[in-house]
Structure 1
Amino acid sequence: MAEKYQSREERRKQLNSKQKGKGRKKAKISVKRIFLFLVALGIVGLLIGAGTFAYMVKDTPKLDEKLLKDPISSELYDINGNFFAEIGSEKRDYVDYEDIPKQVEEAILATEDTRFYKHNGVDIIRLGGAVVANLTEGFGAEGASTITQQVVKNSFLTPEKTLSRKAQEAWLSIQLERKYTKQQIFEMYVNKIWMDSGGHGIATAAKVYFGKELDELTLAETALLAGMPQSPANYNPFKHPERAEKRRNIVLTLMHKHGFITQEEMEEAKSVDVTSTLVPEDKRSTGDIPYDAFVGHVVKEIKAKYPDIDPFSDGLKIYTTLEPDAQKYVEDILDGDEIEYPDEKFQAGITLLDTATGQIRALGGGRNQTVDFGFNYATDAKRQPGSTIKPIIDYGPAIEFLKWGTYYALDDKPYTYSTGDKISNWDNKHMGVMSMRTALALSRNIPALQAFQAVGAEKAKQFAIDLGIPLKEIHESYSIGGFGGEDKGVSSLEMAGAYSAFGNNGFYTEPYSVVEIELRDGTKLKMKPDSKVVMQDYTAFMITDMLKDVVQSGTGTRANISGLPLAGKTGTTNYPDADKKAYNIPNGAVPDAWFVGYTTNYTAAVWTGYDNKNENYLVGDDQKIGQRLFKNIMEHVHNGKETADFKVPNTVEVVEIEKGTIPAKKASKYTPKNMIITEYAVKGHAPKEVSDKYDRLEAPVDLTADYDTDSNEIVLNWNYVAENENGVQFEIYVKKDDGAEELLTAQSEKTLRMKADYGGYYTFKVIAVRDQQKSDPATAAIQIPDPLIFDGDDENDDNGGPPWGRNEEDEETDEPDNENPGNDEQNDNNNGQPQQGNNRGQGQGQGQGNQNGGNQGNQP
């Protein structure tokens, strides 16, 4: 039994041992299968990846040696589709590899591709870091392009960041490395890169920026040029020396990091002031690019929207908004003798827009420009806007948010900011209660601040931002154009864009110069920004209507153009008292003078002033040059064009307001006409209350007109019955025969005598007047008789005067003398002639008057 038991135990152990062995075998088989699956999956992935890569690179262009060495210029077309300029092929000095200084090569390698001589066109190590950045921060967050890839991109491919384009770039880079040596590829790179004002290639840039050959450059100058290709426009030392210096210092740090220069060399180069190394402004070369102020902005606009597109080397077709005739005129008037400028340093920036579309028609980048794509005073200069900001920050928001009408009453009185600081008008005077229209037309500061305070700072700020004025903060001083803090000022381009919205029924379109770009492969990129409603049409119209008064009777009359429906606003800025004292600036001098205005066709913004406002300033008529520039330009561009007036929207109603009422009240039926102003209100928000300042003024009564034969005078008498006669005067008007009515006099007495002409027929009108209020008239008329025959016999003259209408035959009979109808009483009455004797010529109008003897007849 024991053996049998042991035998059973042994069999159990043996069975367990076999089962464990089978489990290990199965486990080994399972791992192997997984490994094989992963291998197969990897192969499939590689095949799919290879297939995908092959698909993406199937349309890759072929290597073209000419394209590798020469940048492709871009063509520009005006608003009518006509070619007017080519950019990108004007300036380029080619340098061979053996002539590239070692220092220049090291600076470029340290900045762009330190492993250039170690990879085969695509740097896997660098690519890994970029992939991580793109996965964590989004595609396009970091580039991994080698110098080889940059040559390929700039020569053959479009600039968009897509997987397909990157695949083509990698494929062509590998081919390029197989066909050309590293030295040849590096030579292509240094001659192809765009250097903004420095043209194409680093050799050209050395001459333009420093006036030197490549082998003459200092370390600091070399580092500056090596840092520019990443963003040529932003690191242009002529335009942005501070940015260029920061970028240069980054390059020097990289050169030290990679062992190309010592710590001492780096520190010494960093201490060099960039501006001290540049070619002096008066010796900088100019090119022959037409309309360079406009073209420069075109390039800037493209780079802002599509940073990877290079208009100077990508072979684009650029369709712009340029109106060549307008652009040429703007340039001619800035540099010609049509306007008398005070000196050569006087500057101006001009923007001309299409009011309805926001398209830039012309840019005046400044006077006496010496370099292509230099500082643009229309787009780059940020200056204080002065009173041109009032429609944007004060009155526009007041209409938009508070529904103020153009009549809204404001009080131009001694006033302070909320801080308690005093605010003054430009003339240091106060004009009392006035309408918003008058306050804007006369550019009063105190009413403008009152409007700003009523609206509130935040609403005013947002209104301005919506109009393209990029405010970062806002204070009460902004209400009169006194910007500060982070807001250094505004450009002519920004002001033109804002004002165009007022002329376009409240629609704002950011000003733009490029309609469309066509890439080399035929792809078309739209550049037109979207229009947006930024205010109600009643706001736009009422601001426009008030700005018409500025040019017709306000501060901007020198900009007015007869027969052209035009709205606009002047603006000047002031010097702080401390600056006036420190720089000995005279009273009345200003640093900036503006005029911004528009029609339904065009909007123009003109800034004038000096670069250094503490050394030069505007005095006297120099402050009006902006208005003259505006007028001449607008006259030119409107010549031969129909210009519609601004239409009154159905959201606006006309209202008659009594002058001087605060708050504004409607005129009553007794309000004198000269005390009534016709204004506009937002429909449904016109004043409801009617003024009761003026009651009906009683008219004179019992007006008579008598003829005094002794003195040959007409005697007027009248009465005046009223509860309050204080302050009443009487205006007496006369009309003789069919002549014009004339004012004889104004007096407080109720009688008047005047000499008469024989045979004249006189009509009189007497009106009561008080405080510019006038009554209805009282009227009277009188016919003065003609003497017929005077026989020299005083006895025949009953009253000692001439024998009116009589002769001897008349005295012998009482029978009517048909040959002398003047003696016939019936004819006398019918013909309106007075009878003879004591019945002397005498009459009255409206059956009024005294019985002073004689027959009273109804005179015609």
Structure 2
Amino acid sequence: MRILKRLFKWLLTLSLIGVFTGFATFAGVYYYFSPELPDVQSLREVKFQTPLRVYSADDKLIAEFGEKKRSPIPYEKIPDNFIKALQAAEDARFFDHFGIDIKGLSRAAFQLASTGRIQSGGSTITMQVAKNFFLTREQTFKRKFIEILLALQIEQELNKQEIMELYVNQIYLGHRAYGIQAAANTYYGQNIEDLSLAQLAMIAGLPKAPSAFNPITNPQRALERRDWILGRMLQLGYISQHQHEEAVSTPVTARYHRSDIELDAPYIAEMVRQQLYEQYGEDLYTDGYRVWTTVNSGMQKEATAALRRGLLDYTDDHGYRGAEANIDIDSLNPEDQLNALRQYTAYAGLEPALVLEVTDSGARLLRTDGSESPLDWAGIQWARPYQTVHWTGPAPKRPVDVLNAGDIIRVMLDDNGELRLTQMPQVQGALIALNPQDGAIRALTGGFSFYHNKFNRVTQAYRQPGSNIKPFLYTAALENGFTPASIINDAPVVFHDVSLEGTWRPENDNGKFNGPTRLREALFRSRNLVSIRLMRALGIEQARDFILRFGFEPENFPGNLSLSLGSASATPLQVARGYAALANGGFLVQPYLISRIENAEGEILLQANPIQACPDCAPTSTSENTSPALTGDDTSPSDSDNLVATEAPILLPPEQIPASPTPAPRIISPRNAFLIYDVMRDVITRGTGTRAQVLQRADLAGKTGTTNEQKDVWFSGFSPDLVATTWVGFDQPSPLGRGEYGSSRALPIWIDFMEEALQGIPDNPPAVPEGVVRISIDPATGKRAYPGQENAMPEYFRSEDVPRETARSPEQQLKAPATEAIFGF
């Protein structure tokens, strides 16, 4: 008995010495390493690297920019089954230990002692948080000691839920996915809360080795890892036998899902990226900014589709240019044939294909997915050979007239879902749609395919607008005493102008001259000689200054008579902005694309404060230096240089947004704005834009535009609610071909877009403003109609401009013939 007491005292003493030594050792280790320990308090303010995301106005994801795909979620949104699966896989006693698992560390130490190398680290989830946020991945004793010390500190500063939240949002899970929400999106195309038990277990198996247990690249190993985790969950009592059996019987369903882009608008995404990069730099791609644009997803989809259809129609009409390449398929095995085909990229639904065989009824094609498909004669017979932009060759009679074995061609699906031969357009185009009331960009597409050519023709292509410029000149005329009934002589004229480098003999598009013509008719029929005479009457410099009020760049607008026919240079965005002023009653708005910017926490950093058309606001002006020769109405607009120079930033912090909207500057009077709007409605009802009558609306107005040799064709049109401009041409200006005009090529694209864009928007013709009256006139002279005149027509005038003279009846003309006064300048 005495021996047992002495043995007990001896063991107790050794135990106390061991405990003391352990504490002393730990204290020594802590004292030694403490200068190197980071401050774990920083975990409370951690910022996950999260990509920039760009959305439409109706919350459709347009783009994601950033190296790491991550969508942090709070602890409350982590599924309970995922937490249990993660515990089963990584740390079963996570909610019980104090940061380190003595049993796990002991097991790791035994493995090291018995094998001579580190087989497992015995790491808890808390230790992995310490390692992921503060340490490198080197396997050394020093790093392990620091990891343990940090884990203990983390457990003192944070609760278990906070630690788990940090862990599941930080871990790398393969395929650029960081965090469990990004992994759920990447592997299953769903949010983490929508996944099944089997899918959650699959993701829980990834942290240990994202490559080795990846369900896409290593599905068998991933399946084994998943089933092991499910077995552990059953063993630990986390799930029932039935749940286990159901989960392990589930096949692997993971496949790679790209970012869930919901709206194809890459030109818009790039505009946003460029604008914000100037402000945020490289942080833009990591700080989790979310940007909402003004784009309407429905309008954007139709803008993209309408422009592509229009460019493909032009391409088909001008003939087939032939295969993109031809390879010797007889010398290649099937695998090499497929590899050769995959060197070509699909663009805008135009898929590359390899012609394996040409038959009497069509062709047999190899497609990039490795499958073979027939191309029937119905999808080939359109392909007349291209000769020039003016001519095509004879129609093909059999497939061999068009295709050869070994050809690399393009195909697309037609409206019936059948393959059809096609080709990449060489012609390009642009479409921009604005809300004329505040300048919000509702849709924008800068070319056939951003991924084929990133040049944004809406904002970067300076092209001659042709007759698209005429409404601004006619507005200047109305502002300076002309009326829609003013008579101008449409007759030949020759100019000897040094600025035009010699003699200039302008003509109308059809080569004909119509003599005395009312201003209204001259615009809707797009008479060039009337425009020239108007500009001469107004004075070149004064007319140019007036046109510049609409937001154009002075350096791109020549100071000679050719400006009246559209020899200036402007982008489609600038043209659309000018037309917005005609649509909104005379206000110059600023086009803008971003409506708000939020940080990763959902706080609004910047918000749009657009200037707005405001008919009820007092007239605004940025300068007193208005042109007295061109202020013939009740407004005092400022000159265009001052307007452009004083444009304020659209985006402001929320606290700086004024309570009332900021009014846009008025650049033309309400009465003038109504008159030009009404005149331009005749372009749709009686002029070069009559195709648009298919839309069956009374509020549409617009103008076609075609430059010399048909190098650029335009249509710009609007209602009070939407303005849209379309342009078609080659990037290197050259003729589009015989018969190619704004009315035949740009207008159909505009109609195609507006038909969908205006769905649900009520017909909204402009109201007649106070001071504008409507009387009957004689269409030949513009004077008041004589009593009982059968061909009299109604016309609007400012009340002070109503014609005082009455046209003579045929009987009066016989008695007292006289020459009618016209503007023959």
Normalised to the residue count of structure 1, the TM-score between the two structures is 0.45
Normalised to the residue count of structure 2, the TM-score between the two structures is 0.47
Instruction: Choose 1 or 2 for highest CA Rg.
Output: 1
